[in-house]
Amino acid sequence: MTRDYRLGRLANGLQVVAEPMPEARSVSIGVWCEVGSRHETAHEAGLAHFLEHLCFKGTTHRSARQISEEIDRLGGELNAFTTRETTTFYATVLSEHLPQAVALLQDVVLHPALEAGDVAKERQVIMEEIKMVDDNPEEMVHDLHARQL
């Protein structure tokens, strides 16, 4: 099945790609930031992933609890991930909730509070995630392969 992709650019330079799916009642939106672990120096290693986590600790307009409650009220999902190439923030909601999801995603990406107290707490969360990857042979082999390349 061939899909109809639409490509555009907003006044602020942000590139937008849309794929209409009339058969779906939900919508997924995302922001791909062109920064991942590949772009970090040895001194910066893990910074993109760390900042990704901090964005969900609250914004200048919403607390972490308010972010969580708002996406729950919409019946949606709000999450993020960091790869070697990108840091991606995304939301999935019913199509009628798209404006609220865009506003929430925009706030998380553009207005994170980045409070000093959250840095220490999140450091421990990241350390636990690293241990989980080290315990997963499938993840470990990908890391080893990337180092060899």
Question: Catalytic one among 23, 52, 77, 115?
Answer: 52
Tokens of 43: 């001194």
Walking along the chain (149 residues) 10 residues at a time, the average pLDDT comes out as: 75 78 89 90 88 94 97 97 93 94 93 89 78 74 76
Q: Which residues contact 47 (CB under 8 A, 6 or more apart)?
A: 40
CATH numbers and ranges of domains, the chain = 6-115 (3.30.830.10)
- Verify whether residue 19 is a known catalytic residue: no
Cβ atoms of residues 77 and 137 within 8 Å: no
